[in-house]
Structure 1
Amino acid sequence: MNNLASLVIPAVIGLVTGIGHGITSHNLDLPFSLTEQLISSSDFNQPLD
């Protein structure tokens, strides 16, 4: 694989993944950043007393 393809392929995969994440987050009314999603999901994982 030449040098250009080794840079372009991961960039395209990351771009498509990022766009897909944004669309999914918007449709499910989730926070847009992954950090906010992880923080909000940890709130639901608290043990019940």
Structure 2
Amino acid sequence: MQSNYIPAGLLKRYFAHLFDIIILSVITIVIGAIPVVIYSLFLETDEINIRF
């Protein structure tokens, strides 16, 4: 009897949840970073032409 044995199903489920969390956080970071990147690109290229 191994007391420190982790079932494969539990491990697979844990990694699936971990994978989902990583994907969600990456998507959130990308969606949050897109306006910043676009804004900084516009600031670099057309610094004078921006009218708000």
TM-score normalised by length of structure 2: 0.52
5+ unaligned residues in a row in structure 1: which ranges?
31-49
Say yes or no: does 1:12 pair with 2:17: yes
* Displacement over 6 Å in runs of 4+: none
In the alignment of these two chains, the number of paired residues is: 30
5+ unaligned residues in a row in structure 2: which ranges?
1-5, 36-52
Structure exhibiting the larger radius of gyration computed from Cα positions: 2
Alpha-carbon offset, residue 3 of structure 1? 1.9
Identity of aligned residues (%): 3
